[in-house]
């Protein structure tokens, strides 16, 4: 009876968490143009057309409303999270990823977003008042606000707008100082180094297979040489290899013990700002264990890096990005 009550209460907690996550964006979906310029609707398609449908390369798509999307931000700060004065001290989002869970095919997908992606960024003054919107690197958006929920809200809006008003069900902004704790909580992460990191660590040599623990994981994820053109691109590629390994390690850890997710949630709290509650995390834990994830499920925002007047600028390939969004967040209408 005691075990029945325990598992019953866990089931209730997970059900509450699930409902909260889906209710956040229950009426939202991306705003994509219904057809590309070269697409023509047939008479039958015109008669049966529904709001929100998209025609692309001869196929019709509809948004998958069962998908859950989370924004993961790595904030360039090496201390506990704390509220800061209004201005630009909130910390830049040096790592930006969308974590996408699809219950229909039980898949996990990840989208890596270059920190230098040029997009609409809202500017605020020292009193927190909106000033204007400019084209700038997306990573700076988190710097505005109070470094807590306000800054996360600004960054969430910027990413959602970049992806055509994509619904984002939750976020987690984690200071980089938490990397070692997160890494070691899943028993370390296996990676293959994609390129040499000169002078950082003698083991960080292209092609080396490493099992990262502690500070090595921190530097592997964070380091870049800003004097080298394209360093953000190279770091993002390295972060991709790390996340591939981390998700696999986390899946194995959760298979052994579901409480790992809850323990990790509690351990990282001093370095994290999130709107994902404990009951929502409890709902997500078994999903992490059961859903499939392979290297093919990791997408990089397509585009090109160029040198701007002062800093590197990454410009998305709009056509390729449109197709990627349909591939991940939509499904074909039969």
pLDDT one-digit tens code per residue, 243-279? 999 999 999 998 888 788 888 888 899 999 999 988 8
Answer yes or no: are the C-beta atoms of 131 and 103 closer than 8 Å: no
Q: How far is CA 8 from CA 5, 81, 208, 249, 327, in A?
A: 5, 35, 47, 28, 37
303-307 and 312-316 beta bridge pairing: antiparallel
**H or E, element range at 299:** strand 298-300
Give mean pLDDT in consecutive 10-residue pieces for the chain, a chain of 334 residues: 40 66 76 75 90 91 95 91 90 96 95 97 95 97 96 97 95 94 94 87 91 95 90 93 93 86 88 92 84 92 95 95 96 91
Question: Tell me, what's the pLDDT at 2?
Answer: 37
* pLDDT at site 6: 33
Strands 107-113 and 298-300: parallel
Q: How far apart are CA 114 and CA 233, in angstroms?
A: 7
Give, as one character, the DSSP assignment of residue 52: T
Q: What pLDDT is stored for residue 112 in this prediction?
A: 97
**Which residues, other chains included, contact 3 with Cβ-Cβ below 8 Å and sequence gap of 6+?**
none
Instruction: Please name the residue that has the structure tokens 């264990």.
Output: 289
Q: Is 96:159 a contact under the CB 8 Å cutoff?
A: yes
Give the sheet arrangement for strand 54-56, strand by strand: 54-56, 59-63, 330-332
pLDDT for the residue numbered 308? 93
User: Could you give the angle at the alpha carbon of 14 between the alpha carbons of 10 and 17, nearest 5°?
Assistant: 140
């Amino acid at each position: 009876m005691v075990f029945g009550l325990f598992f019953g209460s866990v089931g209730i907690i997970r059900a509450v968490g699930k409902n909260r996550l889906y209710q956040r964006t229950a009426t939202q979906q991306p705003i994509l143009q219904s057809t590309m310029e070269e697409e023509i609707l047939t008479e039958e398609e015109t008669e049966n057309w529904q709001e929100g449908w998209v025609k692309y390369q001869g196929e019709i798509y509809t948004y998958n409303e069962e998908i859950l999307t989370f924004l993961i931000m790595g904030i360039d700060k090496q201390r506990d999270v704390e509220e800061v004065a209004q201005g630009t001290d909130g910390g830049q989002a040096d790592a930006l990823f969308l974590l996408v869970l699809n219950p229909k095919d039980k898949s996990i997908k990840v989208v890596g977003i270059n920190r230098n992606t040029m997009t609409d960024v809202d500017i605020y003054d020292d009193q927190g008042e909106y000033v204007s919107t400019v084209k700038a690197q997306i990573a700076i958006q988190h710097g505005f606000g109070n470094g807590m929920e306000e800054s996360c809200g600004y960054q969430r809006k910027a990413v959602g707008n970049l992806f055509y008003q994509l619904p984002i069900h939750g976020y987690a902004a984690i200071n980089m100082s938490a990397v070692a704790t997160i890494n070691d909580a899943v028993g370390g992460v296996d990676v293959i180094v994609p390129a040499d990191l000169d002078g950082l660590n003698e083991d960080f040599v292209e092609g080396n297979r490493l099992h990262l623990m502690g500070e090595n994981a921190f530097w592997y994820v964070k380091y870049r040489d800003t004097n080298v053109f394209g360093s953000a691109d190279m770091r993002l590629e390295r972060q991709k290899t790390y996340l591939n390994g981390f998700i696999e390690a986390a899946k194995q850890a959760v298979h052994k013990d579901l409480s790992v997710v809850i323990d990790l949630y509690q351990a990282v709290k001093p370095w994290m700002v999130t709107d994902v509650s404990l009951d929502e995390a409890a709902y997500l834990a078994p999903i992490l264990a059961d859903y499939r994830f392979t290297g093919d499920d990791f997408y990089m925002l397509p585009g090109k890096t160029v040198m701007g007047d002062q800093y590197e600028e990454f410009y998305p390939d709009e056509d390729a990005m449109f197709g990627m969004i349909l591939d991940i967040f939509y499904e074909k209408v039969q």
